[in-house]
Structure 1
Protein backbone atom coordinates (compact mmCIF):
# COMPACT_ATOMS: atom_id res chain seq x y z
CA UNK A 1 0.00 0.00 0.00
CA UNK A 2 1.09 3.56 -0.63
CA UNK A 3 -0.39 6.89 0.43
CA UNK A 4 -0.84 9.77 -1.97
CA UNK A 5 -2.27 13.26 -1.75
CA UNK A 6 -1.80 13.00 2.05
CA UNK A 7 -5.04 11.22 2.88
CA UNK A 8 -5.93 8.53 0.31
CA UNK A 9 -4.68 4.96 0.82
CA UNK A 10 -3.69 3.45 -2.53
CA UNK A 11 -3.56 -0.33 -2.95
CA UNK A 12 -1.70 -1.89 -5.87
CA UNK A 13 -2.13 -5.59 -5.14
CA UNK A 14 -5.11 -7.87 -4.62
CA UNK A 15 -3.73 -9.14 -1.30
CA UNK A 16 -3.45 -5.59 0.08
CA UNK A 17 -6.99 -4.72 -0.91
CA UNK A 18 -8.38 -7.96 0.51
CA UNK A 19 -6.60 -7.39 3.81
CA UNK A 20 -8.12 -3.90 4.01
CA UNK A 21 -11.54 -5.31 3.10
CA UNK A 22 -11.29 -7.89 5.88
CA UNK A 23 -10.71 -5.10 8.39
CA UNK A 24 -13.75 -3.21 7.11
CA UNK A 25 -15.90 -6.30 7.55
CA UNK A 26 -14.67 -6.79 11.13
CA UNK A 27 -15.69 -3.18 11.84
CA UNK A 28 -19.12 -3.76 10.34
CA UNK A 29 -18.59 -1.16 7.62
CA UNK A 30 -20.39 -1.19 4.29
CA UNK A 31 -18.26 -0.79 1.17
CA UNK A 32 -19.20 0.79 -2.16
CA UNK A 33 -17.29 0.23 -5.40
CA UNK A 34 -16.83 2.75 -8.22
CA UNK A 35 -15.02 1.02 -11.11
CA UNK A 36 -13.16 3.43 -13.44
CA UNK A 37 -10.39 3.46 -16.04
CA UNK A 38 -9.02 6.68 -14.58
CA UNK A 39 -8.72 10.09 -16.25
CA UNK A 40 -11.34 11.12 -13.72
CA UNK A 41 -13.79 13.93 -14.43
CA UNK A 42 -16.90 15.24 -12.69
CA UNK A 43 -18.93 12.31 -13.98
CA UNK A 44 -16.71 9.88 -12.07
CA UNK A 45 -16.68 12.11 -9.01
CA UNK A 46 -20.48 12.16 -9.02
CA UNK A 47 -20.39 8.36 -8.78
CA UNK A 48 -17.92 8.64 -5.90
CA UNK A 49 -20.22 11.11 -4.15
CA UNK A 50 -23.20 8.77 -4.59
CA UNK A 51 -21.18 5.92 -3.09
CA UNK A 52 -20.04 8.06 -0.17
CA UNK A 53 -23.65 8.97 0.62
CA UNK A 54 -24.75 5.33 0.66
CA UNK A 55 -21.77 3.45 2.14
CA UNK A 56 -19.39 3.77 5.06
CA UNK A 57 -16.37 3.65 2.80
CA UNK A 58 -15.72 3.62 -0.95
CA UNK A 59 -13.24 1.83 -3.20
CA UNK A 60 -12.45 3.68 -6.42
CA UNK A 61 -10.73 1.29 -8.80
CA UNK A 62 -8.49 2.79 -11.47
CA UNK A 63 -7.48 0.27 -14.10
CA UNK A 64 -7.17 0.63 -17.88
CA UNK A 65 -8.46 -2.80 -18.83
CA UNK A 66 -6.67 -4.27 -21.89
CA UNK A 67 -9.48 -6.77 -22.49
CA UNK A 68 -11.82 -3.90 -23.44
CA UNK A 69 -9.61 -2.89 -26.37
CA UNK A 70 -9.04 -4.41 -29.80
CA UNK A 71 -5.56 -4.32 -31.41
CA UNK A 72 -6.51 -1.32 -33.57
CA UNK A 73 -7.96 0.74 -30.70
CA UNK A 74 -6.43 3.33 -28.38
CA UNK A 75 -5.11 1.26 -25.45
CA UNK A 76 -1.63 2.84 -25.58
CA UNK A 77 -3.01 6.35 -26.06
CA UNK A 78 -5.79 6.12 -23.47
CA UNK A 79 -5.18 8.89 -20.90
CA UNK A 80 -3.46 7.71 -17.73
CA UNK A 81 -3.44 10.36 -15.00
CA UNK A 82 -3.16 8.41 -11.74
CA UNK A 83 -1.51 11.15 -9.58
CA UNK A 84 -4.13 13.70 -10.64
CA UNK A 85 -6.91 11.15 -10.16
CA UNK A 86 -5.79 10.42 -6.61
CA UNK A 87 -5.64 14.14 -5.87
CA UNK A 88 -9.22 14.59 -7.09
CA UNK A 89 -10.40 11.75 -4.85
CA UNK A 90 -8.51 13.25 -1.91
CA UNK A 91 -10.33 16.53 -2.46
CA UNK A 92 -13.70 14.83 -1.96
CA UNK A 93 -12.88 14.91 1.77
CA UNK A 94 -14.55 11.58 2.50
CA UNK A 95 -13.61 8.01 3.34
CA UNK A 96 -12.19 6.55 0.13
CA UNK A 97 -9.40 4.22 -0.91
CA UNK A 98 -7.97 3.70 -4.39
CA UNK A 99 -7.32 0.30 -5.94
CA UNK A 100 -4.86 0.76 -8.81
CA UNK A 101 -3.59 -2.70 -9.70
CA UNK A 102 -0.99 -3.64 -12.26
CA UNK A 103 -2.12 -5.62 -15.29
CA UNK A 104 -0.29 -8.67 -13.89
CA UNK A 105 -2.46 -8.54 -10.76
CA UNK A 106 -5.70 -8.59 -12.72
CA UNK A 107 -4.57 -11.03 -15.43
CA UNK A 108 -2.12 -13.51 -13.88
CA UNK A 109 -1.95 -15.46 -17.17
CA UNK A 110 -1.10 -12.31 -19.08
CA UNK A 111 -3.38 -10.49 -21.52
CA UNK A 112 -3.25 -9.44 -25.15
CA UNK A 113 -5.73 -7.31 -27.07
CA UNK A 114 -5.82 -10.04 -29.74
CA UNK A 115 -8.80 -12.07 -28.55
CA UNK A 116 -7.75 -15.15 -30.56
CA UNK A 117 -4.52 -15.33 -28.53
CA UNK A 118 -5.98 -14.70 -25.06
CA UNK A 119 -5.57 -17.41 -22.41
CA UNK A 120 -7.31 -17.86 -19.09
CA UNK A 121 -10.80 -17.27 -17.76
CA UNK A 122 -13.22 -14.74 -19.23
CA UNK A 123 -16.86 -13.85 -18.56
CA UNK A 124 -19.49 -13.19 -21.23
CA UNK A 125 -23.08 -12.00 -20.97
CA UNK A 126 -24.60 -13.45 -24.12
CA UNK A 127 -27.60 -11.85 -25.77
CA UNK A 128 -26.82 -8.30 -24.62
CA UNK A 129 -23.14 -7.93 -25.42
CA UNK A 130 -23.68 -8.35 -29.15
CA UNK A 131 -26.18 -5.47 -29.42
CA UNK A 132 -25.51 -1.75 -30.02
CA UNK A 133 -21.86 -1.16 -29.13
CA UNK A 134 -21.18 -4.86 -29.62
CA UNK A 135 -21.82 -4.48 -33.34
CA UNK A 136 -18.59 -2.61 -33.93
CA UNK A 137 -16.74 -3.69 -30.75
CA UNK A 138 -17.47 -7.44 -30.34
CA UNK A 139 -14.69 -7.81 -27.77
CA UNK A 140 -15.72 -4.94 -25.52
CA UNK A 141 -18.35 -6.34 -23.17
CA UNK A 142 -16.47 -9.59 -22.69
CA UNK A 143 -13.69 -7.41 -21.29
CA UNK A 144 -16.12 -5.38 -19.18
CA UNK A 145 -17.88 -8.43 -17.73
CA UNK A 146 -14.54 -10.11 -16.96
CA UNK A 147 -12.91 -7.17 -15.18
CA UNK A 148 -16.08 -6.23 -13.26
CA UNK A 149 -16.44 -9.84 -12.07
CA UNK A 150 -12.83 -9.75 -10.87
CA UNK A 151 -13.40 -6.45 -9.05
CA UNK A 152 -16.57 -7.78 -7.41
CA UNK A 153 -14.64 -10.82 -6.14
CA UNK A 154 -11.72 -8.72 -4.90
CA UNK A 155 -13.62 -5.87 -3.26
CA UNK A 156 -16.82 -7.71 -2.26
CA UNK A 157 -18.82 -4.48 -2.09
CA UNK A 158 -22.36 -4.18 -0.79
CA UNK A 159 -23.07 -1.66 -3.57
CA UNK A 160 -21.55 -0.75 -6.94
CA UNK A 161 -22.03 2.50 -8.84
CA UNK A 162 -22.14 2.98 -12.62
CA UNK A 163 -23.06 5.90 -14.87
CA UNK A 164 -26.03 5.94 -17.22
CA UNK A 165 -23.84 7.33 -20.03
CA UNK A 166 -22.60 3.78 -20.57
CA UNK A 167 -26.17 2.48 -20.66
CA UNK A 168 -25.43 -0.83 -22.40
CA UNK A 169 -22.72 -1.52 -19.83
CA UNK A 170 -25.31 -0.94 -17.11
CA UNK A 171 -27.67 -3.46 -18.74
CA UNK A 172 -24.89 -6.03 -19.16
CA UNK A 173 -23.72 -5.70 -15.55
CA UNK A 174 -27.30 -5.85 -14.26
CA UNK A 175 -27.63 -9.25 -15.92
CA UNK A 176 -24.16 -10.30 -14.77
CA UNK A 177 -25.10 -9.65 -11.14
CA UNK A 178 -28.36 -11.57 -11.49
CA UNK A 179 -26.92 -14.54 -13.40
CA UNK A 180 -23.82 -15.02 -11.22
CA UNK A 181 -25.74 -14.36 -8.00
CA UNK A 182 -23.52 -11.53 -6.77
CA UNK A 183 -24.97 -10.14 -3.49
CA UNK A 184 -24.48 -6.58 -4.72
CA UNK A 185 -26.92 -3.73 -5.20
CA UNK A 186 -26.33 -1.78 -8.41
CA UNK A 187 -26.85 1.97 -8.46
CA UNK A 188 -27.18 3.62 -11.88
CA UNK A 189 -26.38 7.33 -11.65
CA UNK A 190 -27.74 9.77 -14.28
CA UNK A 191 -25.32 11.02 -16.92
CA UNK A 192 -23.30 14.07 -15.89
CA UNK A 193 -23.19 16.72 -18.60
CA UNK A 194 -21.46 19.97 -19.43
CA UNK A 195 -23.63 22.62 -17.71
CA UNK A 196 -23.54 24.88 -20.76
CA UNK A 197 -24.16 22.65 -23.79
CA UNK A 198 -25.13 19.28 -22.32
CA UNK A 199 -22.30 17.19 -23.79
CA UNK A 200 -21.93 13.99 -21.77
CA UNK A 201 -18.68 14.04 -19.81
CA UNK A 202 -16.20 11.45 -21.05
CA UNK A 203 -12.48 10.81 -20.65
CA UNK A 204 -12.24 10.72 -24.45
CA UNK A 205 -13.55 14.30 -24.79
CA UNK A 206 -9.95 15.46 -24.40
CA UNK A 207 -9.27 14.06 -27.89
CA UNK A 208 -11.70 16.52 -29.53
CA UNK A 209 -10.38 19.51 -31.43
CA UNK A 210 -11.94 22.90 -30.70
CA UNK A 211 -14.11 22.63 -33.82
CA UNK A 212 -15.22 19.08 -33.00
CA UNK A 213 -16.01 20.05 -29.41
CA UNK A 214 -18.28 22.82 -30.67
CA UNK A 215 -20.23 20.37 -32.85
CA UNK A 216 -20.40 17.42 -30.44
CA UNK A 217 -23.44 18.58 -28.40
CA UNK A 218 -25.65 18.25 -31.51
CA UNK A 219 -26.32 14.60 -30.67
CA UNK A 220 -27.64 15.42 -27.23
CA UNK A 221 -29.80 18.14 -28.73
CA UNK A 222 -31.19 15.50 -31.04
CA UNK A 223 -31.85 13.09 -28.16
CA UNK A 224 -33.64 15.88 -26.29
CA UNK A 225 -35.71 16.68 -29.39
CA UNK A 226 -36.81 13.05 -29.49
CA UNK A 227 -37.72 13.16 -25.78
CA UNK A 228 -39.84 16.23 -26.46
CA UNK A 229 -41.68 14.41 -29.26
CA UNK A 230 -42.37 11.53 -26.86
CA UNK A 231 -43.76 13.98 -24.30
CA UNK A 232 -46.15 15.16 -27.03
CA UNK A 233 -47.44 11.63 -27.54
CA UNK A 234 -45.20 10.47 -30.41
CA UNK A 235 -43.87 6.95 -29.77
CA UNK A 236 -42.84 5.67 -33.22
CA UNK A 237 -39.27 4.61 -33.91
CA UNK A 238 -38.98 6.50 -37.22
CA UNK A 239 -40.03 9.83 -35.74
CA UNK A 240 -37.84 9.56 -32.65
CA UNK A 241 -34.74 8.39 -34.48
CA UNK A 242 -35.40 10.94 -37.19
CA UNK A 243 -35.23 13.76 -34.65
CA UNK A 244 -31.73 12.68 -33.63
CA UNK A 245 -30.57 12.19 -37.21
CA UNK A 246 -31.86 15.61 -38.27
CA UNK A 247 -29.90 17.41 -35.57
CA UNK A 248 -26.76 15.46 -36.39
CA UNK A 249 -27.13 16.18 -40.10
CA UNK A 250 -27.00 19.90 -39.46
CA UNK A 251 -23.45 19.48 -38.15
CA UNK A 252 -22.47 16.79 -40.71
CA UNK A 253 -21.70 14.34 -37.91
CA UNK A 254 -20.64 10.78 -38.74
CA UNK A 255 -23.39 8.69 -37.14
CA UNK A 256 -22.51 5.06 -36.39
CA UNK A 257 -25.93 4.09 -35.07
CA UNK A 258 -29.13 5.46 -33.56
CA UNK A 259 -31.22 2.85 -31.77
CA UNK A 260 -34.54 2.65 -29.95
CA UNK A 261 -34.06 -0.36 -27.70
CA UNK A 262 -35.74 -2.44 -25.03
CA UNK A 263 -34.23 -1.80 -21.57
CA UNK A 264 -34.39 -5.55 -20.87
CA UNK A 265 -33.10 -7.11 -24.09
CA UNK A 266 -31.62 -4.13 -26.02
CA UNK A 267 -33.54 -5.39 -29.07
CA UNK A 268 -34.78 -2.78 -31.55
CA UNK A 269 -38.33 -1.51 -30.97
CA UNK A 270 -40.82 -0.21 -33.50
CA UNK A 271 -42.33 2.10 -30.89
CA UNK A 272 -41.97 2.94 -27.21
CA UNK A 273 -44.00 0.45 -25.10
CA UNK A 274 -45.48 1.15 -21.68
CA UNK A 275 -42.29 -0.26 -20.11
CA UNK A 276 -40.19 2.43 -21.81
CA UNK A 277 -37.16 2.41 -24.11
CA UNK A 278 -33.54 3.48 -24.44
CA UNK A 279 -32.72 5.91 -27.23
CA UNK A 280 -28.98 5.74 -27.82
CA UNK A 281 -26.45 6.83 -30.39
CA UNK A 282 -22.77 6.55 -31.22
CA UNK A 283 -20.88 8.91 -33.51
CA UNK A 284 -17.38 9.63 -34.66
CA UNK A 285 -15.62 12.96 -34.72
CA UNK A 286 -12.25 12.51 -36.37
CA UNK A 287 -10.52 9.70 -34.45
CA UNK A 288 -12.80 10.09 -31.44
CA UNK A 289 -15.84 7.92 -30.85
CA UNK A 290 -18.51 9.28 -28.51
CA UNK A 291 -21.72 7.73 -27.18
CA UNK A 292 -24.83 9.13 -25.51
CA UNK A 293 -28.37 8.11 -24.62
CA UNK A 294 -31.62 9.15 -22.97
CA UNK A 295 -34.23 7.06 -21.19
CA UNK A 296 -37.73 7.35 -22.58
CA UNK A 297 -40.71 6.47 -20.41
CA UNK A 298 -38.75 4.77 -17.59
CA UNK A 299 -35.98 5.23 -15.06
CA UNK A 300 -33.36 2.81 -13.77
Structure 2
Protein backbone atom coordinates (compact mmCIF):
# COMPACT_ATOMS: atom_id res chain seq x y z
CA UNK A 1 0.00 0.00 0.00
CA UNK A 2 1.18 3.51 -0.75
CA UNK A 3 0.34 6.61 1.28
CA UNK A 4 0.94 10.14 0.07
CA UNK A 5 1.41 13.05 2.48
CA UNK A 6 0.26 16.66 2.20
CA UNK A 7 1.21 18.99 5.03
CA UNK A 8 -0.67 22.25 5.55
CA UNK A 9 0.79 22.95 8.99
CA UNK A 10 4.55 23.05 9.57
CA UNK A 11 3.97 22.90 13.34
CA UNK A 12 2.56 19.37 12.92
CA UNK A 13 5.86 17.92 11.70
CA UNK A 14 6.57 16.12 14.97
CA UNK A 15 3.09 14.55 15.02
CA UNK A 16 3.48 13.58 11.38
CA UNK A 17 6.71 11.71 11.97
CA UNK A 18 5.23 9.83 14.93
CA UNK A 19 2.43 8.70 12.60
CA UNK A 20 4.62 7.64 9.69
CA UNK A 21 7.26 5.69 11.61
CA UNK A 22 5.01 2.75 12.59
CA UNK A 23 3.45 2.74 9.12
CA UNK A 24 6.83 2.34 7.45
CA UNK A 25 7.59 -0.49 9.88
CA UNK A 26 4.45 -2.24 8.60
CA UNK A 27 5.66 -2.00 4.98
CA UNK A 28 3.49 0.97 4.03
CA UNK A 29 5.22 2.87 1.24
CA UNK A 30 5.12 6.52 2.31
CA UNK A 31 5.51 9.19 -0.36
CA UNK A 32 6.69 12.14 1.72
CA UNK A 33 5.79 15.75 1.03
CA UNK A 34 8.36 17.88 -0.73
CA UNK A 35 7.24 21.07 0.97
CA UNK A 36 4.59 22.44 3.31
CA UNK A 37 1.54 23.50 1.31
CA UNK A 38 0.68 27.13 1.93
CA UNK A 39 -0.96 28.14 -1.37
CA UNK A 40 -3.54 26.71 -3.75
CA UNK A 41 -0.95 26.32 -6.52
CA UNK A 42 1.32 24.37 -4.19
CA UNK A 43 -1.54 22.05 -3.24
CA UNK A 44 -2.29 21.32 -6.91
CA UNK A 45 1.37 20.74 -7.69
CA UNK A 46 1.84 18.36 -4.75
CA UNK A 47 -1.41 16.51 -5.49
CA UNK A 48 -0.34 15.92 -9.09
CA UNK A 49 2.97 14.55 -7.87
CA UNK A 50 1.22 12.14 -5.50
CA UNK A 51 -1.15 11.06 -8.25
CA UNK A 52 1.81 10.22 -10.49
CA UNK A 53 3.26 8.22 -7.59
CA UNK A 54 0.15 5.99 -7.72
CA UNK A 55 -0.87 6.53 -4.08
CA UNK A 56 -3.83 4.61 -2.62
CA UNK A 57 -4.67 7.49 -0.30
CA UNK A 58 -3.38 10.85 0.89
CA UNK A 59 -2.84 11.89 4.51
CA UNK A 60 -3.50 15.61 4.79
CA UNK A 61 -2.16 17.32 7.91
CA UNK A 62 -4.62 20.19 8.25
CA UNK A 63 -3.46 23.50 9.67
CA UNK A 64 -5.14 25.86 12.08
CA UNK A 65 -5.13 28.69 9.59
CA UNK A 66 -8.06 29.80 7.48
CA UNK A 67 -7.33 31.21 4.06
CA UNK A 68 -6.87 28.74 1.23
CA UNK A 69 -7.14 25.52 3.27
CA UNK A 70 -10.64 24.49 2.06
CA UNK A 71 -9.86 25.30 -1.57
CA UNK A 72 -6.49 23.60 -1.39
CA UNK A 73 -7.98 20.41 0.07
CA UNK A 74 -10.72 20.32 -2.57
CA UNK A 75 -8.21 20.93 -5.35
CA UNK A 76 -5.95 18.17 -4.03
CA UNK A 77 -8.84 15.71 -4.03
CA UNK A 78 -9.95 16.61 -7.55
CA UNK A 79 -6.45 16.55 -9.02
CA UNK A 80 -5.29 13.34 -7.35
CA UNK A 81 -8.52 11.38 -7.64
CA UNK A 82 -7.80 9.40 -4.46
CA UNK A 83 -9.40 9.52 -0.97
CA UNK A 84 -8.04 11.95 1.63
CA UNK A 85 -7.59 11.40 5.35
CA UNK A 86 -7.72 14.73 7.19
CA UNK A 87 -5.60 14.65 10.33
CA UNK A 88 -5.70 17.29 13.03
CA UNK A 89 -6.41 18.05 16.66
CA UNK A 90 -9.93 18.42 18.09
CA UNK A 91 -11.21 21.91 17.37
CA UNK A 92 -8.86 22.37 14.43
CA UNK A 93 -10.61 24.98 12.31
CA UNK A 94 -8.66 24.20 9.16
CA UNK A 95 -9.58 20.52 9.35
CA UNK A 96 -13.30 21.13 9.58
CA UNK A 97 -13.26 23.79 6.87
CA UNK A 98 -11.43 21.36 4.58
CA UNK A 99 -13.95 18.63 5.44
CA UNK A 100 -16.81 20.94 4.52
CA UNK A 101 -15.26 21.73 1.15
CA UNK A 102 -14.65 18.05 0.37
CA UNK A 103 -18.20 17.17 1.32
CA UNK A 104 -19.55 19.85 -1.01
CA UNK A 105 -17.74 18.43 -4.05
CA UNK A 106 -18.50 14.81 -3.13
CA UNK A 107 -14.86 13.79 -2.71
CA UNK A 108 -14.19 10.72 -0.54
CA UNK A 109 -12.50 11.59 2.76
CA UNK A 110 -12.32 10.67 6.42
CA UNK A 111 -11.06 12.40 9.57
CA UNK A 112 -8.35 11.42 12.02
CA UNK A 113 -8.74 13.46 15.21
CA UNK A 114 -6.17 11.90 17.49
CA UNK A 115 -2.41 11.78 17.93
CA UNK A 116 -2.02 8.98 20.47
CA UNK A 117 -0.48 5.54 20.05
CA UNK A 118 -3.51 4.23 18.16
CA UNK A 119 -3.38 6.85 15.41
CA UNK A 120 -0.97 4.94 13.15
CA UNK A 121 -3.10 1.79 13.35
CA UNK A 122 -6.15 3.83 12.40
CA UNK A 123 -4.33 5.29 9.39
CA UNK A 124 -3.29 1.80 8.28
CA UNK A 125 -6.86 0.50 8.61
CA UNK A 126 -8.15 3.45 6.61
CA UNK A 127 -5.52 2.96 3.90
CA UNK A 128 -6.36 -0.72 3.58
CA UNK A 129 -10.07 0.04 3.18
CA UNK A 130 -9.32 2.66 0.52
CA UNK A 131 -6.73 0.73 -1.46
CA UNK A 132 -7.09 0.94 -5.22
CA UNK A 133 -7.95 -2.74 -5.37
CA UNK A 134 -10.97 -2.07 -3.14
CA UNK A 135 -12.10 0.93 -5.19
CA UNK A 136 -11.79 -1.06 -8.41
CA UNK A 137 -13.83 -3.87 -6.85
CA UNK A 138 -16.61 -1.40 -6.10
CA UNK A 139 -16.57 0.02 -9.63
CA UNK A 140 -16.69 -3.48 -11.09
CA UNK A 141 -19.78 -4.20 -8.98
CA UNK A 142 -21.45 -1.08 -10.40
CA UNK A 143 -20.61 -2.20 -13.93
CA UNK A 144 -22.19 -5.60 -13.29
CA UNK A 145 -25.27 -4.01 -11.70
CA UNK A 146 -26.00 -2.02 -14.86
CA UNK A 147 -28.87 -3.50 -16.85
CA UNK A 148 -30.01 -5.93 -14.16
CA UNK A 149 -33.72 -6.37 -13.49
CA UNK A 150 -35.31 -5.81 -10.08
CA UNK A 151 -38.63 -7.54 -9.47
CA UNK A 152 -41.03 -5.36 -7.48
CA UNK A 153 -44.59 -6.51 -6.59
CA UNK A 154 -47.36 -4.47 -8.19
CA UNK A 155 -48.48 -3.17 -4.80
CA UNK A 156 -45.07 -1.56 -4.30
CA UNK A 157 -44.17 -0.68 -7.89
CA UNK A 158 -46.61 2.22 -7.97
CA UNK A 159 -44.40 4.14 -5.52
CA UNK A 160 -41.13 3.45 -7.37
CA UNK A 161 -39.80 5.98 -9.88
CA UNK A 162 -38.66 3.55 -12.58
CA UNK A 163 -37.02 6.23 -14.72
CA UNK A 164 -34.93 7.39 -11.77
CA UNK A 165 -33.78 3.87 -10.99
CA UNK A 166 -32.82 3.31 -14.60
CA UNK A 167 -31.05 6.65 -14.93
CA UNK A 168 -29.17 6.61 -11.61
CA UNK A 169 -28.53 2.93 -10.97
CA UNK A 170 -28.95 1.36 -14.40
CA UNK A 171 -31.51 -0.98 -12.81
CA UNK A 172 -34.68 -2.00 -14.66
CA UNK A 173 -37.64 -2.15 -12.26
CA UNK A 174 -40.13 -4.76 -13.46
CA UNK A 175 -43.30 -6.47 -12.27
CA UNK A 176 -42.24 -9.76 -13.85
CA UNK A 177 -40.41 -12.12 -11.50
CA UNK A 178 -39.17 -14.37 -14.30
CA UNK A 179 -35.75 -13.32 -15.54
CA UNK A 180 -35.15 -10.82 -12.72
CA UNK A 181 -31.67 -10.93 -11.17
CA UNK A 182 -32.94 -9.83 -7.76
CA UNK A 183 -36.21 -9.09 -6.00
CA UNK A 184 -37.60 -6.69 -3.41
CA UNK A 185 -38.85 -9.21 -0.88
CA UNK A 186 -41.39 -7.62 1.41
CA UNK A 187 -41.45 -4.56 -0.83
CA UNK A 188 -38.18 -3.10 0.51
CA UNK A 189 -36.69 -1.90 -2.78
CA UNK A 190 -33.80 -0.07 -1.13
CA UNK A 191 -32.86 -3.07 0.96
CA UNK A 192 -32.98 -5.16 -2.22
CA UNK A 193 -30.61 -2.80 -4.02
CA UNK A 194 -28.28 -2.78 -1.04
CA UNK A 195 -28.27 -6.56 -0.82
CA UNK A 196 -27.56 -6.94 -4.52
CA UNK A 197 -24.78 -4.36 -4.50
CA UNK A 198 -23.10 -5.97 -1.50
CA UNK A 199 -23.47 -9.37 -3.16
CA UNK A 200 -21.74 -8.10 -6.30
CA UNK A 201 -18.99 -6.50 -4.23
CA UNK A 202 -18.33 -9.53 -2.02
CA UNK A 203 -18.97 -12.27 -4.55
CA UNK A 204 -21.21 -14.09 -2.06
CA UNK A 205 -24.72 -13.76 -0.72
CA UNK A 206 -24.40 -11.24 2.13
CA UNK A 207 -25.31 -12.65 5.51
CA UNK A 208 -24.55 -9.49 7.43
CA UNK A 209 -27.13 -7.35 5.64
CA UNK A 210 -29.80 -5.80 7.83
CA UNK A 211 -32.89 -4.67 5.94
CA UNK A 212 -34.60 -1.97 7.97
CA UNK A 213 -37.73 -1.58 5.88
CA UNK A 214 -40.13 -2.74 8.59
CA UNK A 215 -38.45 -0.60 11.21
CA UNK A 216 -38.25 2.48 9.00
CA UNK A 217 -41.82 2.35 7.75
CA UNK A 218 -43.53 0.87 10.80
CA UNK A 219 -42.09 2.87 13.65
CA UNK A 220 -42.80 6.47 14.63
CA UNK A 221 -39.87 8.79 14.14
CA UNK A 222 -37.99 9.31 17.37
CA UNK A 223 -37.08 12.78 18.53
CA UNK A 224 -33.52 13.99 18.78
CA UNK A 225 -30.85 15.53 16.62
CA UNK A 226 -30.05 12.37 14.66
CA UNK A 227 -33.69 11.73 13.88
CA UNK A 228 -34.15 15.30 12.72
CA UNK A 229 -31.16 15.08 10.41
CA UNK A 230 -32.49 11.84 8.97
CA UNK A 231 -35.90 13.37 8.23
CA UNK A 232 -34.33 16.41 6.59
CA UNK A 233 -32.20 14.19 4.37
CA UNK A 234 -35.24 12.13 3.45
CA UNK A 235 -37.22 15.19 2.44
CA UNK A 236 -34.28 16.48 0.42
CA UNK A 237 -34.57 13.36 -1.71
CA UNK A 238 -30.90 12.37 -1.62
CA UNK A 239 -30.03 8.73 -1.84
CA UNK A 240 -27.75 7.74 1.00
CA UNK A 241 -26.19 4.52 2.20
CA UNK A 242 -25.45 3.87 5.86
CA UNK A 243 -22.25 1.85 6.10
CA UNK A 244 -21.34 0.13 9.34
CA UNK A 245 -17.84 -1.15 9.94
CA UNK A 246 -18.95 -4.47 11.43
CA UNK A 247 -21.85 -6.93 11.59
CA UNK A 248 -25.09 -6.18 13.38
CA UNK A 249 -26.83 -8.69 15.62
CA UNK A 250 -30.55 -9.18 15.07
CA UNK A 251 -33.50 -10.41 17.09
CA UNK A 252 -36.10 -11.57 14.62
CA UNK A 253 -36.61 -8.76 12.13
CA UNK A 254 -35.64 -5.91 14.42
CA UNK A 255 -31.93 -5.02 14.39
CA UNK A 256 -30.16 -4.40 17.67
CA UNK A 257 -27.66 -1.54 17.69
CA UNK A 258 -25.16 -0.73 20.40
CA UNK A 259 -23.72 2.76 20.61
CA UNK A 260 -25.60 4.11 17.57
CA UNK A 261 -28.58 6.47 18.05
CA UNK A 262 -31.70 4.46 17.24
CA UNK A 263 -33.47 7.64 16.19
CA UNK A 264 -31.34 7.72 13.06
CA UNK A 265 -32.81 4.43 11.90
CA UNK A 266 -36.36 4.95 13.10
CA UNK A 267 -36.59 8.16 11.06
CA UNK A 268 -34.73 6.84 8.04
CA UNK A 269 -37.37 5.95 5.50
CA UNK A 270 -36.62 5.76 1.78
CA UNK A 271 -34.57 6.96 -0.06
CA UNK A 272 -32.06 5.55 2.44
CA UNK A 273 -30.14 2.36 1.94
CA UNK A 274 -28.98 0.31 4.89
CA UNK A 275 -26.11 -2.14 4.94
CA UNK A 276 -23.37 -3.47 7.12
CA UNK A 277 -20.21 -3.48 5.07
CA UNK A 278 -17.57 -5.07 7.30
CA UNK A 279 -14.45 -5.84 5.31
CA UNK A 280 -16.12 -4.53 2.14
CA UNK A 281 -16.36 -0.97 3.43
CA UNK A 282 -13.97 0.54 0.89
CA UNK A 283 -15.48 -1.25 -2.08
CA UNK A 284 -19.04 -0.39 -1.01
CA UNK A 285 -18.15 3.28 -0.61
CA UNK A 286 -16.58 3.37 -4.07
CA UNK A 287 -19.69 1.74 -5.52
CA UNK A 288 -21.98 4.22 -3.77
CA UNK A 289 -20.01 7.22 -5.03
CA UNK A 290 -20.11 5.86 -8.58
CA UNK A 291 -23.92 5.55 -8.33
CA UNK A 292 -24.29 9.07 -6.89
CA UNK A 293 -25.32 7.65 -3.52
CA UNK A 294 -23.94 9.54 -0.53
CA UNK A 295 -22.19 7.01 1.74
CA UNK A 296 -22.62 7.73 5.45
CA UNK A 297 -20.00 5.77 7.38
CA UNK A 298 -20.87 5.24 11.02
CA UNK A 299 -17.57 5.15 12.85
CA UNK A 300 -18.90 3.44 15.97
CA UNK A 301 -19.22 -0.23 15.09
CA UNK A 302 -22.21 -1.93 16.73
Q: TM-score, normalised by structure 2?
A: 0.26
User: Whose helix fraction is larger, Structure 1's or Structure 2's?
Assistant: 2
